[in-house]
Structure 1
Amino acid sequence: MASVAVEGTDIVVRLSWREKALAHHRNVRVPVSALRQLYIEPDWWRALRGEHDRGTCIPGQVCAGIRHLREGQDFTLVRAGTPVLCVELRRAAPFSRLAISVPDPEKAMGTLQPLVPRDRLE
């Protein structure tokens, strides 16, 4: 299962080789400065937005890859029946949101929460 960590000035989503194959994507790296908001979505399907573009989406099981929206794109690695860590990013970031099913979303959120800016500027 994917993991989220902070490495230097980046937030890194590490994917297993199977997840990389499903998502058609390598590990995801975004700058900490792009972090805007964090929350845990208990209903996995609510974390999905936009249209599926690249990757794999098996209804009721998993959705991994890039999803396009009018205002940008999301990276998703969402497994059915699991809560999802949602990382909202600023406009300058490569993604609008990272939606990731991780083994312990509360722990991952605790790691990232101190990095969320107080100003909430876009």
Structure 2
Amino acid sequence: MARILVRDDDLVVRLSWRERAAAHRGTVRVPLTTVRRVTVEPDWWRALRGVALHGVWIPGVLSAGTRGHAGGQDFVALRPAGPVVCVELRSTAPFDFLAVSVPGDAQAAAEGLRRSAPDIDASTAWRQPLPVAEETETSWRELDMYRKR
């Protein structure tokens, strides 16, 4: 099972050998300064966003790899048992979002990351919604007009 660690000034996601093989990549490393928000998602499947790009997706068993969406790319290493540590990253990071199933207490792992990251956004304990490219204020008005016809 993957582990989230803080090494020097980096957040490191260390994958098990099976997860490395499934995700087609080794360790994921991002600077701590790019960490924007850390939350815990109680339902592992809610952490999945977008469509699978690279990796292995076995429903109910393992989701490991890169996922793409209108806002960019996410990296996930998820198992269906237990909560998931979700890390939102700033635009300078290689990914927009990391979702990792960790062994043990996910809340404690998330709290440790919050203490280590220098500039966490603590305005809300919830993840921010995924941006949708075609969603604008005028598109909502157009949709309302279409529904009234």
Q: Normalized per residue, which structure has more strand?
A: 1
The alignment's TM-score, normalised by the length of structure 1, stands at 0.93
Aligned residues: 120
Say which structure, 1 or 2, has more relative contact order (CA 8 Å, 6+ apart): 1
**Secondary structure class of the residue paired with 2:21:** helix
Displacement after TM superposition at 1:97 (Å):
0.4
Whose Rg is larger? 2
Q: Normalized per residue, which structure has more helix?
A: 2
Q: 1:30 touches 1:93 (CA, 8 Å); kept in 2?
A: yes
Displacement after TM superposition at 1:81 (Å):
2.7
Q: Closer, same or farther in 2 for the Cα pair 1:3/1:118, shift >3 Å?
A: closer
Q: Closer, same or farther in 2 for the Cα pair 1:7/1:52, shift >3 Å?
A: same
Q: Deviations over 1:13-40 (max 9, x none)?
A: 0111111011111100000010000100
Displacement after TM superposition at 1:116 (Å):
5.3
Q: Closer, same or farther in 2 for the Cα pair 1:118/1:13, shift >3 Å?
A: closer
Displacement after TM superposition at 1:119 (Å):
5.6
Q: Superposed, which structure 2 residues align to 1:11-50 within 5 Å?
A: 11-50=11-50
**Secondary structure class of the residue paired with 1:112:** helix
Q: Closer, same or farther in 2 for the Cα pair 1:43/1:118, shift >3 Å?
A: closer
The alignment's TM-score, normalised by the length of structure 2, stands at 0.76
Q: What's 1:85 paired with?
A: 85
The question of 1:117 aligning with 2:116 is answered no
Equivalent pairs: percent with the same residue? 51
Structure 2 unaligned segments of length 5 or more: list them: 123-149
Distance 2:80 2:5 in 1: 22
RMSD: 1.3
Structure 1 unaligned segments of length 5 or more: list them: none
